[in-house]
């Protein structure tokens, strides 16, 4: 929300809700429907046969067997240079933490290297079968969360990089993530190839299933955690079943009340977000030195503007909570350095908290390769992409634009911090558990693509054979090799002093 630097002597507020005193004001812009202006396009409705033919024709542009043929381009850019390019727009003091988290293993490097991989994918032939891409569909960006009806569902849960693009890019990143994670877990080549093929097969079979559904059935389709429980019971061991049940129980309890217990302390009788720098820094500490900055009024202004992006019923819900405190919070691996905040609000009493996450949305890593978003606001891009691809999403999704003291407009999206969120314990997975999870992720990705793209055309392209599965499994192992070389390049950059990394955080 705010990026406070040392204020010069006599400087006014870092942010204010008006500019009547001659100081630079923080502007807030959350106008719904903030799309680039263009004439509405006529909707063309093809027959099922025409859509299937479109899919078969795509095999000429990008033969399925050739999807596995990938080699680094002769003029491939230095991956560390791409990461440095990304870091230029992030908070300088947090970038070393990002590099430190990427250095933990080749898998954590892969999580943070969406930009280098997007550049690699862009050089391959494209099917032309576009969907709303996740843009960073690695296996840790899937998980459980609470639907509006309070049941736990499973889907993609990260849309920071979402943009329309060729469906195969998401599938390639997902399958490659399993190849990298399998190596991280010490699985042998045969085990990894089996898992990699299962991801692609699950995607292919699910797309075929969705292609046969009515539009309404497809739109309402979702993966309930109860369905996953049945799969674990059928294919998993007793140990895996217990671990799954414990993980689900943890997800069900991961809500705003638990966040309130874990993240807050009491100061002068009022709850405050506890300081834990550099990972959690309360807003009053971030704004230290800018005495005239009324940070409480600033955040209230953000909330008022964000409210405009909600539907009237959800606006009514938000208005029942009052603002209490905010803090900057480091999140994830690839997201570290982007500006992310948590906002504490209270309803009827201290037992009725609402924690919101306010996360910066920068240009997607896909943008240089597929073009700009139709939305002028990156926060709206993220929210609309999520709404399109998820059957059940966070009821508090919205967006905001804030101009800081230096006049730089920054886009953010807003969601609940914890709302029944659960993620897979990849570090503990055995081959059987990873196989179950691979099939689940493949199915979930197919569902997202079927909602935003042409499932009939994609199913026709993929066909009934395992050609696609084998090609993607080959690609995944080849790219895992490249990922290890890129990981080594980051290690060398740190060792040489080219970049700084802070580990253990």
Secondary structure in 3-state letters for 83-125:
HHHHHCCCCCCCHHHHHHHHCCCHHHHHHHCHHHHHHHHCCCC
More confident residue, 28 or 478: 478
pTM: 0.91
Q: How confident is the model at residue 15 (pLDDT cuts 50, 70, 90)?
A: very low
Please spell the DSSP secondary structure of 262-331, one letter per residue.
HHEEEETTEEEEPPBTTTEEEHHHHTTT-TT--HHHHHHHHHHHHHTTS-HHHHHHHTTSEEEEEEEE--
The pLDDT of residue 408: 84
- The Cα–Cα gap between 155 and 141 comes to 9
Region 308-330: mean pLDDT is 97
Q: Which of 416, 446, 481 is the last residue of a domain?
A: 416
From 164, 79, 160, 75, select the one nearest 126 (Cα to Cα): 164
Q: How confident is the model at residue 31 (pLDDT cuts 50, 70, 90)?
A: low
Of 125-129, 294-298, 474-478, least confident by mean pLDDT is 294-298
Nearest 10 degrees: Cα torsion 29, 30, 31, 34? 90
pLDDT digits (tens, 9 = 90+) for 172-188: 999 999 999 999 999 99
- Report the chain's mean pLDDT, rounded to a whole number: 90
124: containing domain: 49-252+430-495
Q: Domain tally for the chain?
A: 2
pLDDT digits (tens, 9 = 90+) for 394-421: 999 999 999 765 668 899 999 999 887 8
Helices 455-462 & 48-61, crossing angle to 10 degrees? 50
Q: How confident is the model at residue 1 (pLDDT cuts 50, 70, 90)?
A: low
- Position 4 pLDDT exceeds 80: no
Is residue 404 situated within a structural domain?
yes
Paired sense of beta strands 409-416 and 353-360, if any: antiparallel
Q: Which two tokens stand for residue 215?
A: 């539009």
Nearest 10 degrees: Cα torsion 157, 160, 165, 167? -20
The pLDDT of residue 293: 76
Q: How confident is the model at residue 18 (pLDDT cuts 50, 70, 90)?
A: very low
**Residue 358 burial by CB count (10 A; 0-12/13-18/19+): exposed, middle or buried?**
buried
Paired sense of beta strands 142-146 and 152-156, if any: antiparallel
Region 204-210: mean pLDDT is 98
> Are 273 and 180 contained in the same domain?
no
Is residue 56 situated within a structural domain?
yes
Greatest C-alpha distance within the chain: 71
Q: Which of 416, 441, 472 is the last residue of a domain?
A: 416
> Are 328 and 439 contained in the same domain?
no
Is residue 365 situated within a structural domain?
yes
> Are 280 and 395 contained in the same domain?
yes
The pLDDT of residue 294: 86
Region 230-253: mean pLDDT is 79
Q: How confident is the model at residue 477 (pLDDT cuts 50, 70, 90)?
A: very high
> Are 276 and 394 contained in the same domain?
yes
> Are 246 and 269 contained in the same domain?
no
The pLDDT of residue 30: 53
The pLDDT of residue 85: 97
> Are 110 and 239 contained in the same domain?
yes
CA angle in degrees (0–180, nearest 5) for 149-151-154: 120
- The Cα–Cα gap between 225 and 116 comes to 33
Is residue 40 situated within a structural domain?
no
Region 459-471: mean pLDDT is 98
Is residue 69 situated within a structural domain?
yes
Q: Which of 390, 416, 442 is the last residue of a domain?
A: 416
Is residue 8 situated within a structural domain?
no
More confident residue, 255 or 155: 155
> Are 409 and 435 contained in the same domain?
no
Is residue 213 situated within a structural domain?
yes
The pLDDT of residue 312: 97
- The Cα–Cα gap between 37 and 42 comes to 15
- The Cα–Cα gap between 177 and 479 comes to 9
> Are 104 and 242 contained in the same domain?
yes
**Cβ pair 28, 412 in contact under 8 A:** no
> Are 233 and 279 contained in the same domain?
no
The pLDDT of residue 23: 34
> Are 277 and 240 contained in the same domain?
no
Is residue 1 situated within a structural domain?
no
> Are 148 and 213 contained in the same domain?
yes
> Are 286 and 353 contained in the same domain?
yes
SS3 content of the chain, % helix, strand, coil (to 5): 45, 15, 40
- Position 221 pLDDT exceeds 80: yes
More confident residue, 189 or 242: 189
């Amino acid at each position: 929300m705010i990026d406070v630097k040392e204020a010069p002597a006599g400087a006014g507020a870092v942010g204010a809700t008006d500019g009547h005193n001659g100081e630079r004001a923080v502007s807030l812009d959350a106008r719904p429907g903030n799309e680039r202006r263009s004439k509405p396009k006529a909707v063309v409705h093809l027959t099922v046969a025409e859509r299937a033919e479109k899919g078969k024709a795509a095999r000429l542009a990008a033969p399925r067997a050739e999807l596995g043929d990938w080699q680094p381009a002769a003029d491939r850019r230095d991956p560390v240079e791409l990461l440095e390019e990304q870091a230029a727009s992030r908070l300088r003091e947090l970038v070393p933490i990002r590099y430190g988290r990427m250095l933990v293993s080749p898998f954590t490097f892969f999580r943070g290297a969406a930009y280098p991989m997007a550049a690699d994918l862009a050089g391959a032939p494209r099917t032309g079968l576009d969907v709303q891409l996740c843009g960073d569909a690695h296996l840790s960006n899937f998980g459980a969360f609470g639907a509006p009806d309070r049941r736990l569902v499973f889907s993609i849960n990260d849309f920071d990089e979402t943009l329309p693009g060729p469906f195969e890019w998401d599938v390639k990143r997902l399958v490659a993530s399993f190849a990298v994670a399998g190596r991280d877990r010490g699985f042998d080549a045969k085990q990894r190839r089996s898992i990699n093929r299962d991801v692609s097969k699950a995607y292919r079979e699910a797309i075929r299933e969705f292609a046969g559904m009515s539009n309404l059935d497809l739109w309402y389709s979702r993966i309930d955690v109860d369905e996953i429980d049945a799969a674990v019971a059928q294919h998993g061991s007793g140990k895996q079943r217990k671990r799954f049940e414990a993980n689900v129980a943890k997800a069900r309890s991961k809500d705003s009340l638990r966040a309130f217990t874990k993240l807050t302390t009491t100061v002068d009788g009022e709850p405050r977000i506890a300081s834990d720098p550099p990972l959690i820094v309360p807003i009053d500490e971030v704004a230290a030195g800018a005495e005239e900055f009324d940070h409480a009024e600033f955040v209230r202004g953000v909330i008022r503007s964000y409210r405009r992006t909600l539907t009237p019923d959800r606006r009514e819900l938000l208005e029942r909570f009052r603002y209490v405190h905010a803090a900057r919070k480091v999140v994830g691996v690839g997201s570290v350095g982007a500006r992310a905040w948590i906002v504490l609000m209270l309803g009827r009493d201290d037992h009725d908290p609402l924690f919101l996450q306010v996360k910066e949305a920068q240009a997607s890593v896909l943008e240089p390769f597929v073009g700009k978003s139709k939305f002028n606001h990156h926060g709206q891009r993220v929210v609309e992409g999520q709404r399109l691809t998820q059957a059940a999403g966070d009821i508090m999704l919205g967006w905001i634009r804030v101009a800081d003291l230096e006049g730089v407009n920054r886009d953010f999206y807003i969601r609940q911090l914890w709302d029944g969120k659960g993620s897979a314990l990849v570090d503990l997975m055995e081959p059987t558990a990873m196989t179950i999870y691979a099939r689940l992720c493949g199915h979930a990705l197919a569902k997202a693509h079927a909602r935003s793209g042409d499932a009939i055309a994609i199913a026709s392209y993929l066909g009934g054979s395992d050609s696609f599965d084998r090609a993607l499994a080959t690609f995944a192992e080849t790219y895992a090799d490249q990922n290890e070389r890129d990981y080594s390049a980051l290690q060398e950059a740190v060792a040489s002093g080219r970049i700084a990394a802070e580990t253990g955080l």
